[in-house]
Amino acid sequence: MLNWNVREELACEEAELGPDKFAEKLQLQQKLQEAQLEMLKQIRNYHLDDQSLILEKLHQQMEMNNFDSEMSLLSLEEIQDIVRRRVTPVYRPRQPTS
């Protein structure tokens, strides 16, 4: 159940946008939430350390984009790349010894 404040906010938003735009916005929000849920299900398949790293990268991405909800998603490829980079050491040439 929605509390009074949320219902009031939704009513105001519907009045501002009109019924068609409001319905479209709600549908887009629902699709985004479904995509976020699928992303979280994918993340749960990884080790806890990897999950923490993935969520940290997601937080950084959102922070850099002023917490835009569209930036609250990572693709499966992005998730795999984050984990791969953590596991694969970066090549560093040896420093000559004196």
Q: What is the pTM of this model?
A: 0.70
Per-residue pLDDT of the chain (98 residues; tens, 9 = 90+): 668 888 888 888 889 989 899 999 999 999 999 999 999 999 999 999 999 999 999 999 999 988 888 788 999 999 999 998 876 555 556 666 65
Q: How far apart, in whole angstroms, are the C-alpha atoms of residue 62 and residue 56?
A: 10
| Cβ count near 44 (within 10 Å) | 9
What pLDDT score was predicted for residue 21?
92
20-28-6-12 Cα dihedral, nearest 10 degrees: -30
The first and second tokens of residue 77, run together, are 């490829």
